[in-house]
Amino acid sequence: MIATLINAAAIILGSLIGLLIRKGIKDEYRKVVFTAAGLTSLAIGIQMVLETDHILSFALALMVGGLLGTAFDVEGAAGPKTLSQQDFSMLRFCSVRAP
């Protein structure tokens, strides 16, 4: 339980620091940080998939999540995209129409 509280506090502290200094960070650096975070998340996801014994549950969760995200227009609600469709297309696993 204490680890959860420490994690939550670290996230809140990091978010506040990010809000305070975000105007001073150039867009080039911001793109690099977001790309690195995205690739790290992708690597962690691939590692978790390779370790799972329940690949069908994983596939079903991806399908249901994709359908719900599409139904609720999660990408549209998230605000403007930082990367263009072409920049991000190499990481896409399904076809998406450009707005």
Dihedral Cα 28, 30, 35, 37, nearest 10 deg:
160
Q: What pLDDT does residue 83 have?
A: 55
pTM of the model: 0.50
Q: Tens of pLDDT along 12-71? A: 998 898 888 877 788 888 889 889 999 999 999 899 888 888 889 888 998 999 999 888
Residue reference for tokens 């297309």: 89
Split at pLDDT 50, 70, 90, the class of 87 is low
Lookup: tokens for 66: 């994709």
**Residues 29-59 as b or e (16 or more Cβ within 10 Å = b):** eeeeeeeeeeeeeeeeeeeeeeeeeeeeeee
Rounded alpha-carbon distances, angstroms, from residue 53 to 19, 94, 96: 40, 24, 30
Specify the 3-state DSSP secondary structure of 57: helix
